[in-house]
Chain A
Amino acid sequence: MMHKNFRIYGFTMENILLELLLRAYQLIFSFDSEVLNITLLSLRVSGTAVLIGALIGVPIGMVLGLRRFSGKQILMRFIDLTLRSIVNTFMGLPPVVVGLVVYLLLVGSGPLGSLDLLYKPAAMIITQLIMVIPIITGVTMSAVGSVEKAIREKALSLGATDRQAAWMVLREARMGMLTAIIVAFGAAISEVGGIMITGGNIRWHTRTLTTAIVQEVNLGDFNKAITLGVILLSMAFVINLALTIIQLRGPKR
Chain B
Amino acid sequence: MPFIEAQSLCKEYSGKQVLKNINFKVQNGEIFVLVGPNGAGKTTLLRILDLLEEPSSGTVLVDGTQMNYHSAKHQLVLRRRIGMVFQQTVLFNMSVFDNVAYGLRVKGESDKSVKQRVGEELELVQLHGFEQKNALALSGGEAQRVALAQALVIEPELLLLDEPTANLDPRNVSIVEEALSRVNREKKTTMIMATHNMLQAENLAQRVAAFNEGRIERIGTFHEIFEAPSKFVLDFARLENVFSGFSRVTGEGTSLVDVGDGVQIETAFKKTGNTTVFVRPEDIILSLNPIVSSARNSFEGRIVEVSDLGAIVRLKVKAGRDFTVQITKRSFNDLQLNIDSKVFLAFKASSVQAA
What is the interface of chain A, defined by CB distance below 8 A to chain B?
A: 150-151, 153-162, 164, 168, 171-172, 175, 250-253
Question: Could you list 10 further interchain pairs (A-B, Cβ under 8 angstroms) beyond the known A156-B52, A157-B52, A250-B136?
Answer: A150-B90, A154-B92, A156-B75, A156-B79, A159-B103, A159-B107, A159-B154, A164-B106, A172-B93, A250-B93
Which residue of A has the minimal Cβ distance to B95? A252
Q: How far is the CA of A251 from the CA of B103 in the complex (A)?
A: 21
Closest Cβ of chain A to B133, distance in Å, is 7
Q: How far is the CA of A232 from the CA of B92 in the complex (A)?
A: 37
B80: A residues at CB distance < 8 A: 159
How many contacts between A and B, using CB within 8 angstroms?
Answer: 64
B103: A residues at CB distance < 8 A: 158-159
**Central interface residue in A151, A159, A162, by most chain B CB within 10 Å:** A159
Which residue of B has the minimal Cβ distance to A173? B93
Q: How far is the CA of A171 from the CA of B99 in the complex (A)?
A: 13
Known: A154-B86, A252-B134, A252-B137. Contact between A160 and B93, CB under 8 A?
no
Closest Cβ of chain B to A114, distance in Å, is 49
Q: Check A158–B137 contact: CB distance below 8 A.
A: no
Known: A158-B154, A168-B92. Contact between A253 and B106, CB under 8 A?
no
Q: How far is the CA of A250 from the CA of B91 in the complex (A)?
A: 14
Which residue of B has the minimal Cβ distance to A70? B54
Q: Check B150–A158 contact: CB distance below 8 A.
A: yes
Offer 22 A-B interface pairs, CB within 8 angstroms, sorted by A.
Answer: A150-B90, A151-B90, A153-B86, A157-B79, A157-B84, A157-B86, A157-B151, A158-B103, A158-B151, A159-B154, A160-B102, A160-B106, A161-B76, A162-B72, A168-B102, A171-B93, A250-B134, A251-B134, A251-B136, A252-B137, A253-B134, A253-B137
Q: Check A159–B79 contact: CB distance below 8 A.
A: yes
A155: B residues at CB distance < 8 A: 102, 106
Is B50 engaged at the interface, CB distance under 8 Å to the other chain? yes
Closest Cβ of chain B to A24, distance in Å, is 40
B274: A residues at CB distance < 8 A: none
Q: How far is the CA of A180 from the CA of B83 in the complex (A)?
A: 35
**Central interface residue in A154, A155, A160, A252, by most chain B CB within 10 Å:** A154
Q: Check A161–B136 contact: CB distance below 8 A.
A: no
Closest Cβ of chain A to B225, distance in Å, is 29
Closest 9 CB pairs of A and B: A158-B103, A159-B80, A251-B134, A251-B136, A160-B106, A157-B84, A154-B90, A251-B137, A150-B90
Interface size on B, residues (CB 8 A): 26
In B74-128, the 8 Å CB interface with A consists of 75-76, 79-80, 82-84, 86, 88, 90, 92-93, 102-103, 106-107
Which residue of A has the minimal Cβ distance to B72? A162
B107: A residues at CB distance < 8 A: 159
Q: How far is the CA of A168 from the CA of B102 in the complex (A)?
A: 10
Closest Cβ of chain A to B169, distance in Å, is 20
**Central interface residue in A150, A155, A157, by most chain B CB within 10 Å:** A157
B52: A residues at CB distance < 8 A: 153, 156-157
Q: How far is the CA of A162 from the CA of B82 in the complex (A)?
A: 16
A175: B residues at CB distance < 8 A: 93
Q: Check A150–B88 contact: CB distance below 8 A.
A: yes
Q: How far is the CA of A168 from the CA of B52 in the complex (A)?
A: 17
Closest Cβ of chain B to A37, distance in Å, is 42
Q: How far is the CA of A172 from the CA of B136 in the complex (A)?
A: 11
Which residue of A has the minimal Cβ distance to B14? A71
In B181-233, the 8 Å CB interface with A consists of none
Q: How far is the CA of A113 from the CA of B93 in the complex (A)?
A: 49
Which residue of B has the minimal Cβ distance to A71? B14
B82: A residues at CB distance < 8 A: 157
Closest Cβ of chain A to B256, distance in Å, is 44
Q: How far is the CA of A76 from the CA of B80 in the complex (A)?
A: 31
A153: B residues at CB distance < 8 A: 52, 86, 90
Q: Check B93–A251 contact: CB distance below 8 A.
A: yes
Closest Cβ of chain A to B104, distance in Å, is 9
Closest Cβ of chain B to A225, distance in Å, is 43
**Central interface residue in A153, A158, A253, by most chain B CB within 10 Å:** A158
Q: How far is the CA of A161 from the CA of B71 in the complex (A)?
A: 12
A251: B residues at CB distance < 8 A: 93, 134, 136-137
A171: B residues at CB distance < 8 A: 92-93
Q: Check A157–B83 contact: CB distance below 8 A.
A: yes
Closest Cβ of chain A to B50, distance in Å, is 5
Q: How far is the CA of A160 from the CA of B102 in the complex (A)?
A: 8
